[in-house]
Amino acid sequence: MASRLQWSGWLISLGVLGALPVLAQSNFGGLTLGNDKQAGTLSGSTGGSTSLPAIVSNHDRNNNTCLGFGDPTPDHILVLQQNFPTLNLRVNSGGGGTTLVIQGARDVRCSDNSTAKKDASLSDTDWQAGTYKVWVGTAAPGARRNYTLSVKP
């Protein structure tokens, strides 16, 4: 009985430690969506001076141009435990002109409302289970904006 408890403890520890690097590779933490959690909100602040297209891609899977400046490290990690037919991501920085760049294992998705001085939003289909890196950027390098990012089907 004691050895079974020891093995259980080791397995739980490995599971927790295995998840830490994914969350540690973001500036402001992550969000996991699955059967029990279908929506969530994250917060952070912009301010990097690295061109996001230089990190990820100039165009996304729908041939939208990827724009914006941010930090080389993703702002958030989004983990989908199941496939989602649609997801909506919306930035709220009070209308600061933000961009979104999302990189999954299979593709990149981008949204840019910075030239209209509006916050970025993205509504897209065919979200496969997996891990996505999320950057919230701005049109100008180093521009500081506090924001919340809502994610829901």
Residues 6+ apart with CB under 8 A from 5: none
- pLDDT value, residue 96: 80
Q: What integer best gives the mean pLDDT of the chain? A: 86
Tens of pLDDT, residue by residue over 91-146, are: 999 988 899 999 999 999 999 876 677 899 999 999 999 999 999 999 899 999 99
111-120: which pairs have CB atoms within 8 A and are 24 or more residues apart?
111/64, 112/64, 112/65, 112/66, 112/67, 112/68, 114/67, 114/68, 114/138, 114/139, 115/139, 119/90, 119/91, 119/92, 119/93, 119/94, 119/95, 119/147, 120/90, 120/91
What domains are there in the chain, each with its CATH number? 2-152 (2.60.120.380)
* Residue predicted with more confidence, 21 or 90: 90
In this prediction, residue 115 carries a pLDDT of: 67
Q: Residue 121's beta-bridge partner residues?
A: 90
pTM to 2 decimal places: 0.83
CB 129, CB 78: distance < 8 Å: no
